[in-house]
Amino acid sequence: MPSTTPGCLLPHAWPPSGHALYDELGPGFTLLLSHTAAASWHQSPAMERILALAGRTRIPLAVRVIDTALLPAEARWSADAVLVRPDQHVGWQGNDLDEVVEALQRCAGHPSSARV
C-alpha cells in the first residue's frame, strides 16, 4: 500500500506536469511542499534555517511545490511537507517546517546539536 510514512518509498504518481513525481526529485534530498505550505514558506524563518543548514553543511537540497490535490488519491500525502531522501524514501513528513531542520540533519547523518 503506497505511503509517505517515513522509511517508505515515495509513492509513484503522475502530476499534471506530465512528468513522473520521481522526475521532480533533485539528485540529493528533496523537500516536497504542498501549495498550502508553499504559500507561506517564502516568509518563513524556518525555511531560511533549512536553506542555511543545507548550504552550510553542503547537504544537497531541492525544494519543489507539488499540487497534491491533483495527484491520484493513492499518491497523496497527508502532510503539508515531505522530505525525500536521495534513495527516494521518505525521511520525514509533517506540517511544521520548523521540524525540517532537525529531520534534514538526522537523515543526512549530521548531529542535531549543530543548530543554524
Query: Are residues 28 and 58 in contact, defined by beta-carbon separation less than 8 angstroms?
Result: no
Q: Which residues contact 57 (CB under 8 A, 6 or more apart)?
A: 105, 108, 110, 114
Q: In this structure, is the dihedral angle defined by the CA atoms of residues 69, 75, 81 and 86, taken in order, positive or negative?
A: negative
**pTM for the structure as a whole:** 0.86
The CATH number of the domain where 82 resides is what? Answer: 3.40.30.120
| Within a domain: 16 | no
d(CA 26, CA 24): 7
d(CA 3, CA 42): 28
| Within a domain: 56 | yes
Write out the residue range of the structural domain in which residue 26 sits: 21-108
| Residue range 4-48, pLDDT digits in tens | 889 999 988 887 777 888 998 989 999 999 887 888 776 778 888
| Within a domain: 50 | yes
| Within a domain: 40 | yes
| Within a domain: 80 | yes
- pLDDT of 77 over the 80 cut: no
